[in-house]
């Protein structure tokens, strides 16, 4: 057993966990942050993506002990009160989801993609970057449309800050 300290969605968290505890399980079972989904348990689907120190990471293959002291952001931590994150709003407005199971991981991946590409994206780049996220309901068209729309919204939001 080890005690780890993290900042999760802006709040300090301390937990005593088995050394083999995966971040996805800490989030869902200990912290009741169930927006991070377990899809495949093999790092193939992307449903479990969160941000660790600002970078998209698959939480189903991340041991909690590896990230002691890190800053973790989950889907629950990206909105500002009642105001959706621009990526969430774009997914809503462009019908970028159907069943919603992959959506939290898609959104967290997409935010990272936009941040890494400084908002300069095209459809081909978005499709390539989202290869690590599986959606079984859509043809990805509206997901790509959502990411491209959000890139512009995020640029405007950053300029306003």
Cα angle value 138/76/146 (rounded, 5°): 35
The end-to-end CA distance of the chain, in Å, is 42
pLDDT tens for the chain, residues 1 to 161: 999 999 999 999 999 999 999 999 999 999 999 999 998 877 889 999 999 999 999 999 999 999 999 999 999 999 999 999 999 999 999 999 888 899 999 999 999 999 999 768 999 999 999 998 999 888 899 999 999 999 999 987 777 77
Please list the residues that pair with 58 across neighbouring strands.
Answer: 49
Burial of 3 (0-12, 13-18, 19+ CB in 10 A): exposed
pLDDT reported for residue 119? 63
Task: Give 14's contacts (C-beta < 8 A, 6+ positions apart).
Answer: 3, 4, 5, 6
Q: Are 24 and 36 in contact (CB under 8 A)?
A: yes
Task: Give 65's contacts (C-beta < 8 A, 6+ positions apart).
Answer: 2, 4, 17, 19, 21
Q: What share of the chain is helix, strand, coil (3-state, %, to 5)?
A: 45, 20, 40
Give the C-alpha separation, 101 to 2, whole Å.
Answer: 31
Distance from CA of residue 15 to its chain's centroid? 22
Q: Are 30 and 15 in contact (CB under 8 A)?
A: yes
Phi, psi angle pair for 33, to nearest 5°: -100, 85
């Amino acid at each position: 057993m080890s005690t780890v300290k993290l900042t999760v969605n802006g709040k300090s968290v301390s937990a005593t966990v088995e050394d083999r505890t995966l971040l996805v399980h800490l989030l869902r079972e200990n912290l009741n942050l169930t927006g991070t989904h377990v899809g495949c348990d093999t790092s193939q689907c992307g449903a479990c993506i969160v941000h660790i120190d600002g970078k998209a990471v698959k939480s189903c293959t991340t041991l909690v002990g590896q990230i002691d002291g890190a800053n973790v952001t989950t889907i629950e931590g990206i909105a500002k009160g009642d105001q959706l994150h621009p990526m969430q709003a774009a997914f809503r407005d462009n019908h970028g989801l159907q069943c919603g199971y992959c959506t939290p991981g898609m959104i967290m991946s997409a935010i990272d993609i936009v941040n890494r590409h400084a908002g300069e994206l095209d459809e081909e780049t978005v499709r390539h970057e989202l290869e690590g996220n599986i959606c079984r309901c859509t043809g990805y068209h509206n997901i790509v449309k959502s990411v491209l729309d959000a890139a512009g919204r995020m640029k405007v939001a950053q300029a306003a800050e």
